[in-house]
Amino acid sequence: MHIVKQLMAIPGVIAAGEYAYRGDRFSYQGALTDEFARMASILCRANTLSVNMQSEIFDSFAENCGCRPVQGWIVRGDKVTVCAVGNYFSFIENRDELLNDVMTIMRAKVGDVQDDLLANLYARLGGDTKEALY
């Protein structure tokens, strides 16, 4: 089953979606409007870029310290939590055990995010910038 569909089948998951690393497209299911989903995708991409930049700094400080490449991040709100793994995101209610279940499913379904994440994130629309980056 597709990861977004699987997440949306869990009670307490408000919305889930996928954003392109390049930021040019997104898809989602759940209680978001198209515009909110677009904003969520931009927010997720920005945060993913930010934590990956930080992990590169950690790595230059302490090589192979176990943080790189970053797999995702979680923002725990008062009643709502936003999780992102790879290029998938979900908005969930703060219910008992829901966060652990959602993270387990997202990690298992997305798999280990590989080292080419930053190249994808920095890629210009329609171009391959890996060569320019490294």
Partner 1 sequence: MDLQKLMDLPGTLAAFTYTDRGELQAHMLREGTELTPQVLDLLTRSCVANQAIAAMEARGWEALTGQSGFQPLKGFSVVGLEWSVVVNGNAGVVVKNRDANYEATFNALQSA
Nearer to partner 1, 66 or 126 (CB): 66
* Three-point CA angle 78, 79, 83, nearest 5°: 90
Residue in 79, 124, 131, 134 binding partner 1, rule: CB under 8 A: 79
Alpha-carbon span 83 to 97, nearest angstrom: 14
CB 57 within 8 A of CB 46: no
CB 106 within 8 A of CB 82: no
Provide, rounded to whole angstroms, the least separation between the CB of residue 128 and partner 1.
24
Q: Does 77 bind partner 1 (CB under 8 A)?
A: yes
Residue in 8, 29, 30, 47 binding partner 1, rule: CB under 8 A: 47
Provide, rounded to whole angstroms, the least separation between the CB of residue 116 and partner 1.
14
Alpha-carbon span 133 to 123, nearest angstrom: 9
Q: Does 108 bind partner 1 (CB under 8 A)?
A: no
Q: Is 37 left (phi over 0), alpha (psi -120 to 50) or beta?
A: alpha
Binding site for partner 1 (CB under 8 A): 36, 39, 43, 47, 50-51, 54-55, 57-58, 61-62, 65-80, 85, 93-94, 96-100, 103, 107, 112
